[in-house]
Amino acid sequence: MSRIVWWEIETPDPDTFQAFHGRLWGWTFRAAFADTELGADYWLISSDGETLGGLQRAANGMPPHAGTRVYVEVDDLETTLTQVEAHGGRVERARTALGGDDRWFGTAQDPTGISFGMWTGNPARNL
């Protein structure tokens, strides 16, 4: 698999981000995932009616991740998270559901501190 399936931006000031990029690119923002495990302020970014990615408010007291977070589709999320740690990375967020029975993700950092995400439509497998 290994295809990019999502990107998102994290900022401590999503209101300013939305105002700036809305004016600059014509992007629109729609609140999302409020009733899921994500537990964060989150917006879907759209252009011409097509969803492009996501915007998330940085957690209180935490600096935002610089740049854009890319999500790679994986078949087995838990195995991939284990491989991240085995190769010297760090798991930031274990499997998290976004509602329904086909949307889960996790995030990690590589050994240089770059954050990336993994996305799967598959339920957790027994380890």
Contacting residues for 87 by C-beta, under 8 A, at least 6 apart: 111
Parent domain of 27: 4-120
In a domain, 76, yes or no: yes
Total tally of structural domains belonging to the chain:
1
Q: What is the pLDDT of residues 14-34, one digit of tens each?
A: 889 899 889 988 999 999 988
CATH code (residue 17): 3.10.180.10
Distance (Å) of CA 40 to CA 3, 58, 60, 75? 25, 8, 10, 25
In a domain, 55, yes or no: yes
In a domain, 126, yes or no: no
CA distance 112 to 92: 14
CA distance 45 to 22: 9
Q: What is the pLDDT of residues 78-114, one digit of tens each?
A: 999 999 999 999 999 999 988 777 789 999 888 877 7
pTM of the full structure: 0.67
